[in-house]
Every structure is written in C-alpha cells, then in structure tokens.
Amino acid sequence: MPTKRFIAAAALAGALLFSLPLFAEPLTGQTTPSAAPASSLTPNLMGSLSVFAPAAALAQSAIPAKLTVPSAANGAGWGDDDDVDGDGMPNAGVANGAVASLAADTSDLRKTLIGLAMQLRDIRYVRGGRDPSTGFDCSGFVRYVFAHAVGLDLPTNSASQFLAGLKVSRDDMKPGDLVFFRTAGKRGQGRISHVGIYIANGQFIHSPSRGKTVRVDSLDESYWAQRFAGAKRPGALARS
C-alpha cells in the first residue's frame, strides 16, 4: 500500500504537470516578450520569413546618385571621347542662303528631324554639352535632336552611335542619316570622334568644336572629305 509520503509527491507532480501551459502564456501587460526559438514558430510564419529577400532593394539603394544621370554642367560621361582634336577645322560653314533644301518626297519624319536640327543653329559648342541651355558637343547635339524629334534614345558618344546604326553608302544617304568622321590622330586614320546629321546635296549639320556654334558644313570641303568615315541610319529611320 502506498505511503502517505508517496501519495503527496504524486499529487504535487500532477499539479505541476497540469499547470505548465500557464507558464507558456505571455504575462499580462508584458510589452517586450522574449524571442521564441525558431522551432516553436508556426509553419505559416516560417514560410513568410523564408521568402523575405531584401537583397535586391539593398543593392538598388546602395547605388550612388552620381552614377545615374551625369551633371548638365560638365557633361561627365557624355561624349567625353568626342571632338578631342579640332585643329584645322574650318572656322565657317555653309552660308545660310546656300543651305540645301529637302526634296519634295522626303518623309515627314525626316523633315521633322531636320527642322528641329536647323532651329538649333548658332548654339555654342560645349564639350559634354547635351542641351540648348548649356550648349552642345557633336554627339550631344545629335542625341538631343533624335530624342526630341523622333523619340529615339541614341548612345552618348559618336563612336557608340556609329556602332548603333545601319550602314549606308554615300550615294544612298537621306536627310537625317548620321555622318561620321575621324578627326583625332592622323588624317582619316584615327578613331571615330565626330558626328553630324546629313541634310541633302552633300551638306550636314553639326556642333563642330570649341569656339564654334552649330552650323551646316559640306562633305566636299577638304577637311571633312579627308576625314569622312561613313554614314549610318538609326533604326527609327530605316523605313522612312
């Protein structure tokens, strides 16, 4: 027969066993409960934690603002390799009264493009410039005209613009095609470093070099003829 001491011990053990759930409940009024071990979390909560991945958001927030859009004041990163050598470039272009007229069958898209380019004549050259308010370099001028006339976003320097277009022979050039030149290094032997927009009858409009303004020049002029590297047609004009 169990002794009184044994019966008392069993009763105490039973009371403790049935009271354990009470200790698992949070204390009334507690504001900062201690963290539960991962094994005690419910399956739904564990699932939600496992799919939370902030890495992409953190990567974006870590990108410095200065790497997104270059400053308009200095044009950093825009056309930095353009127009590095303008020695010998003519000081004057085609007289306004001698600028070629577009053919009657020129598409409306090309007319719009040339029309905007001609409105920008006499804006000063600024290396890295890409806006009428600050000035243009050669690729900044071309890029501005295409963006605002036909909504085409061209690369930011002449060498990249040369790679982006469809090759066009000189005899097949149309208004709005891009004309490229090798103005750096030996005559006609350097890299692509200058670009303009073809008008008609061998004439093109461009932003030449320091001390000059946007103007029309002729491909037949000896300086440009010796440095002509070819013509390209941006995709937006391929069917126009």
Q: Would you please indicate which residues are annotated as catalytic (active-site) residues?
A: 138, 194, 206
* Rounded distance between C-alpha atoms, residue 234 and residue 161, angstroms: 8
Q: Who's near 179: CB < 8 A, 6+ residues apart?
A: 173, 195, 196, 197, 198, 204, 219, 228, 230, 231
- Which of these, 122, 117, 134, 133, lies nearest to 92 by C-alpha position? 122
Contact 155, 164 (CB under 8 A): yes
| SS3 (DSSP) at 157 | coil
- Angle, helices 108-119 vs 138-149, to 10°: value is 130
H helices, E strands: number in the chain: 7, 8
Give 213's DSSP letter.
B
Contact 157, 80 (CB under 8 A): yes
